[in-house]
Amino acid sequence: MKKLDFSASLNHLSDETIAEAEAARNARKKKPASLKYAAVAACAAIVVLVGLGVARGVHIERDVPDVTTPVFESETAAEPVEPAASDGLPMLRFADESSAEGGRGVFLKNGVEDLLGVEPILPSETPETLPVYKNTTKFYGGIYPDSVDTDRIKSLLEKYAAAWGLDISSLEITEENPFSEYSSDDLDKIFSDTYGVPVPEGVHQPQKMSVSADGITVSASQYGASVTVESAGLPSFEDENGLAEYVLENYADRLLMSAPEINIIGGERNADGGQNRSVSFFEGSGDALERLLSMEFRSVGVYLDGDSLTFDYHDEKGEELGDYPTITPDEAAELFEQGFYLGADETDVRDAENIEKIELEYVSGSSEFWFPCYRLWVYDPDGAIERVMSMKLYNVYTVPAIEPRYFEESGISTSEEVRLMPFSAEDIPPYQNAGYYDGVMKDAKPATSADESLEELFSDRDFNAQIGSFYKVRVNETLDGSDALWLNGYTTGAQDDQATFYRATVLYDYFAEKAMHKDIIFRMAGSVKMQESGSPPYTSGDEAALLLFRDSEVSDFNRAFKCYAFVYDVENIDGGEYLLARGQRVPELEDSLTDYMTDETASIVTSSTYNPAVYHGAYDPEELAQKLKEIVDGAEKTPLENLSEGRFGPGVLGFGGSFKEEPAEVAALEYVSEPIYERRIPIDTVPATGMPMSFDEVLSGMSGQLSGIAYEITGVYTREEAENLHEDFADSLYASRTLYRAHAFYDVLNDKPLDYYFDVAGWGTADAQEDGWPPYTVGDRLLSFFRVNDSEIKVPNSNFEFMLFEIDGVKVAYHIGKSRIRFESDAYPNLDLEMAESEREVITTTKNNPIRFTQKSTLQSLAEFMRDELYDRGLFTPDDASAESLPILKITPAEVSLGDEIYSAGDVSGLENGNPWDMLEISEGDTLPVYERVLSRNFEMNGMIENVDRDFMREALRFYAIGFGFDPDEIEIEEDRLTPEELEKLSESTRTELPEEYAEPTRMSFEKDGVEVEIYVTDGMFYRVDIGIDSGFELPEGAKVGFYFGASREEAENAEAALLTEYEWLIGNNDAGKTAVDSGESDRCFVTMYHPCVGEFIPYDDGTLPEPDRNDIVKTIINFSLNNIDFMDDGDIFCYGIPNAFETQYRKVGDYPMITPDEARALIDEGGYVWTAFDESGRTAADVVRTELVYGRDGVPYYKFYCPADGWRGCVAGEYGVYYVPAIEQRFVEMGE
């Protein structure tokens, strides 16, 4: 079974299982208390509020109510509460229960005016502190008490029965337990499945007790009681007010309040537009707070059911924890926008502008803590409901009304300080946020790390005066380039490459030790050029600690002190928060701190692959902040009043440059969906007219021949690689270009498919990137026009560069706007596709540099257009003759190295050896790619092997080391290298001045734990790896491979699956592998593993395989022939081959016209085959019994014809000889000896 199918079966997990895991995903990650705000914010998704809103209707104490605070009986809490670190107030948390109602949708017909209910304290009048209570009943998952206080139930029963004139001592008490009917297995399932907890003890205890007499039933639970009066002889009521008045007139004493106040609550609408209203009473005497507490915790709801009346008394038991500092409604709204609210709502519609009403109330019910909160009524502006149901939709959110710092994440005790521990570089978690510049930057230069003394750093008194604080910020986005330019007051080419602006949220003030939630825009190093020097470009989601200039109270705009002298990435490692020093080194500061990183430096890739962050220390935030504060406080400062006026508020320094306008506030800058660095590129114009150059004007200046090639980028070279490959590149091209490896797939001008690789010097240096032009990356498809006689590097004509996409099955070419020409559809009507504004740019490798398009057409119409235009101007000559320019291939039998000339394979006519050549449909005009080996031998230099890629060899060994489970840094690679003395001696003996390269190894190996791996260059000028495996793996019974001890086809077939499972990785990580039993000898079968491009694909759901593509078939033939590894058994497993090096080994010569198998077979009789001893066999074309197409080691395709060999030189029946005939037209072939 395929792993993918197994994975697909998980789609049939129950909804509940998936929802449970999903809910757990939304419970934010657990962080230690030291994270302060971050931990609080994490609470936002965790929920609660089973009882929220329930508190709006119920009951109170005795005849003579004592509603002066404390409302609750002062009892010891069931469990001690952890004190907060600062002011001794206990920390609070929410129950980890995920079904709460954050963002609950509510219908209102007339908006918030529909809402009913008394508000004892208006949000605008929220006191500076409010009491918080601990629920003394412990709940599992917020749903069920873990034990039931039956004494309390009985006490409440007695209390409320007495209020209604009943004496329970003379009545039969009925006990109720809703779980009594469940078996213990059922109970176990209910609790363990749903809540992941064992069955609470309380389940087995009575939940309610009740008595009845004289038409009155009193029922008590441990949270209160309800009293139902049957046949109450009620009149009819017009509305809830009528009922309330009636209750006051007839049952006031039963409410157990001195001054009961009516509270009609509700207002929400149901689907039919009806309004929910109910009657409640609370104690009207006392101050505002007492009234609020009474309403929340001691109310009485009254309900009508026919002629019976029910009084619902709310009477819970809690412990007062103290008065907690509150926040304002505005702050609550801000927190709400930050996502800090109770409940697990998934929607992102959290715009404070849509808050239409805020109420102050209490979280109550089964929540562990009862605290004040703001209830936010947030209008959903979408309007869908209004259209469908003629009602407005509101989402209700609840934000705690006390300062967030008093909350911790559920289940995590803040009393336990996380002890910071030393760690090594490898403990730093991998970077998670999406990178912007991955893969396309030019080389990284060493980070600027010059030491600087504190005295030097704090030498500017003006600067010192402005240091605001040491903040923890979270980057939200990189600012739009145009905004950045505007903010910076830049002009093109001036200072605009020195800084980047980020929109960020300040999360924490390390100096003041308090959480914050403020959006700022800050500037710091991070432009592309600075990035190249190792400075950090941050990206969305990154968190950093920065010494910033501006106090957050002063300005929304900020900048980092000294750019990156005090820059630290915030990282959580094993539960502890560390600040990883990333900026310039400050030895004096570092020496005074405890460095938790055991390695001297750690390098991790953050937003840029090519510019990893280099950390040189890891510090405790508190310790670092304390030291920094001492330094800042001690620094000499210019008095603030002496500072000249800045651009963004009082103070001295703006962001530099001359400002065109002064931004008022952060909100004045529009968010952009994707940040960019875009800079407008001036279009070159014709001086005489001032107009952009036209297509004609551009072409009129061109000469020579052009080719139009559609290609896909398959790799991006580093500068070093590019320079090693092509001297030209180092000399002239690097200044403006990046070297890409590309796969050509379509000749646009000749309208024929292509299939070869080449190097193209395309756009993409950092400079170009900064100009707004994209560095391409792997997978991008482009159409470029090249000079036919370009050197080995093709350089696209920048005027005609197109990006290719397939849209609804149509190949579309977008003209990239770098062009200096006016390329308009009016002038060239065959480029006729209209382009929507949304299509004008596309984000490819970097969000910061979208590609801009100016023209859109189908590839077909563009091809026709360019073909005609270039032909008319003599810039393009149609194909035909072009094949003539292909070089003649010199075939040297010894270099073909196709294997034995005699095969002993039994009946080969139906032999299945994995070669998919028979899938290839061959038609006239078809071509096959021909390659040549990269490696060569220089006989003038005593046979020195040239072009050996030793880095490749070392990397290959590391790859194999990893595959076998070794640490690649721990293997010892042996390299056969000549010593200088040996080289000198050889030079003398050969009378040739051998270069130093001659001494470099062509053979490397390692041996570890029973595994021997050797990679070397063979005499045939190709790389090969030999691997001996003497441990860990054994073939299953009945399986066998190889020459040494013989193996039948059946035995080899038995080995295939085991080998594939164990060693599939050997063929690289590009694709699944395929094995085939090779029939070198019928009794010595071995297994070949190679990378299949056809035949073994993952099938569609219906089991069918995709249609094979011709190129894929050819590639598979190549892999089968040249890019594989064979498995033998010489007692241990032994394999050899070189499965991952085709592109290292070969470079393409061209696509050569191929011949058919029949044409090739006919050539046998004409001697048109590669010479082997078998040509003396006298076998002719008529003797051929089997044909294959294979590639020789020389990179040329051959037809392989099998003929029976019996009778020739002692061969017996079942043995076959082979002829190899080049599969390309003979006119391109020159047979050598």
Partner 1 sequence: MQDEMIVELFWKRDETAISESEGKYRSYLSKIAYSVLADLEDAREIINETLLRAWNSIPPQRPSMLKTYLGKIARELSLDMYRTKHRKKRVASEFTVSLDELGDIVSEGFEGEIDLKLLGEAIDRYLQTVSYEARTAFVQRYFFADSLREISARQGASEAAVKSMLFRTRQGLKEYLTKEGYEI
Token pair in block for residue 388:
């469908």
1 scored as a contact of partner 1 (CB under 8 A): yes
Q: Which two tokens stand for residue 366?
A: 């089964």
Q: Which is nearer to partner 1, 349 or 667 (CB)?
A: 349
Interaction between residue 810 and partner 1 (CB under 8 A): no
Which is nearer to partner 1, 429 or 1010 (by Cβ)?
Answer: 429
Query: Binding partner 1 by CB under 8 A: which of 322, 325, 541, 575?
Result: 575
Question: How far, CA to CA in Å, does 939 sit from each of 946, 992, 1063?
Answer: 10, 11, 39
Does 417 bind partner 1 (CB under 8 A)? Our answer is no
Residue from 387, 426, 701, 996 binding partner 1 (CB under 8 A): 387
Query: Is residue 3 part of the contact set for partner 1 (CB under 8 A)?
Result: yes
> Which residues, in sequence order, are bridge partners of residue 716?
740
Alpha carbons 992 and 942: distance in angstroms, whole number: 7
**Which amino acid would we find at residue 386?**
E
| Helix-then-strand count for the chain, H and E | 27, 56
Return d(Cα 532, Cα 70) in angstroms, integer. Answer: 64
Angle at 509 between CA 348 and CA 676, to 5 degrees: 50
- Give 1171's Cβ-side CA count (13 Å radius): 8
Q: What is the nearest approach in angstroms of partner 1 to the Cβ of residue 3?
A: 5
Looking at the Cβ atoms of 939 and 1100, the one nearer to partner 1 is: 1100
Asked if 1097 interacts with partner 1 (CB under 8 A), we say yes
Please report whether residue 7 would count as binding partner 1 according to CB under 8 A.
Answer: yes
User: Least Å distance between CB 821 and partner 1?
Assistant: 29
- Alpha carbons 463 and 457: distance in angstroms, whole number: 10
* Residue 412 interacts with partner 1 (CB under 8 A): yes or no: yes
What backbone torsions phi and psi does residue 660 show, to the nearest 5 degrees?
-85, -40
Q: Is residue 977 exposed (0-12), middle (13-18) or buried (19+ Cβ within 10 Å)?
A: middle
DSSP string, 608-621: -TTS-EEE--EE-H
Segment interacting with partner 1 (CB under 8 A) among 63-71, 329-337, 378-386, 633-641: 378-386
d(CA 643, CA 651): 6
Nearer CB in complex with partner 1: 347/830: 347
DSSP letter for each residue of 758-794: EEEEES--HHHHHTT-PPP-TT-EEEEEEETT--SEE
- Interface residue with partner 1 among 88, 430, 687, 1210 (CB under 8 A) is 430
Distance of closest approach, residue 1228 Cβ to partner 1, in angstroms: 31
Could you tell me which stretch among 227-235, 568-576, 812-820, 1193-1201 binds partner 1 (CB under 8 A)? 568-576
- Kindly tell me which of 29 and 1209 has the beta carbon lying closer to partner 1: 29
Instruction: Show contacts with partner 1 in window 1040-1059 (CB under 8 A).
Output: 1057-1058
CB of 592 vs partner 1, minimal distance in Å: 31
| Smaller CB separation from partner 1, 28 or 867 | 28
Residue 367: closest CA among 58, 49, 146, 71:
49
Query: What residues numbered 581-620 form the site for partner 1, per CB under 8 A?
Result: none
Residue with Cβ nearer partner 1 (1074 or 1084): 1074
Gap between the Cα atoms of 265 and 278, Å rounded: 5
- What is the smallest separation between the CB atom of 348 and partner 1, expressed in angstroms? 7
- Cβ 43 vs Cβ 414: under 8 Å: no
Residue 11 interacts with partner 1 (CB under 8 A): yes or no: yes
- Near partner 1 in 15-44, by CB under 8 A: 15, 17-22, 24-25, 27-30
186 binds partner 1 (CB under 8 A): no
347 contacts partner 1 (rule: CB under 8 A):
yes
Cα 514 to Cα 406, 549, 591, distances in angstroms: 11, 18, 27
What separation in angstroms does the CA of 1199 have from each of 262, 894, 915? 99, 17, 12
- Residue 221: which of 309, 314, 311 has the closest Cα? 314
Give the whole-angstrom CA distance, residue 39 versus residue 853: 45
The interface mask with partner 1, positions 1100-1129, x = CB under 8 A, is xx----x-----------------------
C-alpha span between 1038 and 230 (Å, rounded): 85
Q: Residue 1216's closest CA among 913, 977, 921, 833?
A: 913
The reply on whether position 1212 binds partner 1 by CB under 8 A is no
Span near partner 1 by CB under 8 A; candidates 341-349, 509-517, 589-597, 997-1005:
341-349
- Decide the pairing of beta strands 1229-1231 and 889-891: parallel
- Positions 87 through 116 that interact with partner 1 (CB under 8 A): 104-105
Residue carrying structure tokens 């908006």: 111
Q: Choose the binding region for partner 1 from 58-66, 190-198, 1132-1140, 1212-1220 (rule: CB under 8 A).
A: 190-198
Q: How far is the CB of 30 from partner 1 (least distance, A)?
A: 4
Pair of tokens at residue 623: 């310790």
Binding mask 514-553 for partner 1 (x = CB under 8 A): ----------------------------------------
Q: How far is CA 78 from the centre of its chain?
A: 44
Minimal distance in Å, beta carbon 456 to partner 1?
Answer: 40
Instruction: Work out how close the CB of 432 gets to partner 1 at its nearest, in angstroms, rounded to a whole number.
Output: 7
What's the closest the beta carbon of residue 369 comes to partner 1, in angstroms? 21
For the chain, helix, strand, coil in percent to 5 are: 25, 30, 45
Positive or negative: CA dihedral 23, 99, 175, 149: positive
Is position 384 an interface residue for partner 1 (rule: CB under 8 A)? yes
Q: Least CB distance from residue 1116 to partner 1, whole Å?
A: 12
Among 630, 1061, 1166, 1206, binds partner 1 (CB under 8 A): 1061
Nearer to partner 1, 165 or 429 (CB): 429
Task: Spell out the alpha helix ranges (H) of 604-753.
Answer: 621-634, 695-700, 719-725, 727-728
| Of residues 574 and 636, the one with the C-beta less far from partner 1 | 574
Pick between residue 393 and residue 1170 the one whose CB is nearest to partner 1.
Answer: 393
574 binds partner 1 (CB under 8 A): yes
Among 380, 620, 1014, 1194, contact with partner 1 (rule: CB under 8 A) = 380
How far apart CA 682 and CA 703 sit, in angstroms, is 26
Tokens of 946: 């040239």
Pick the closer one to partner 1 by CB: 322 or 1108.
Answer: 1108
At its nearest, how many Å lie between partner 1 and the CB of residue 1050? Answer: 16
Q: In whole angstroms, how large is the CA radius of gyration of the chain?
A: 40
User: Closest CB to partner 1 among 378 and 761?
Assistant: 378
**Cα(967)–Cα(971) distance, rounded to whole angstroms?**
7
The answer to the question of residue 170 lying near partner 1 (CB under 8 A) is: no
Q: How far is the CB of 1112 from partner 1 (least distance, A)?
A: 9
3-state secondary structure of 990: helix
Contacting positions for partner 1 (CB under 8 A): 1-15, 17-22, 24-25, 27-30, 104-105, 192-193, 196, 346-349, 380, 382, 384-385, 387-388, 393, 412, 429-430, 432, 572, 574-575, 1057-1058, 1060-1061, 1069-1072, 1097-1101, 1106
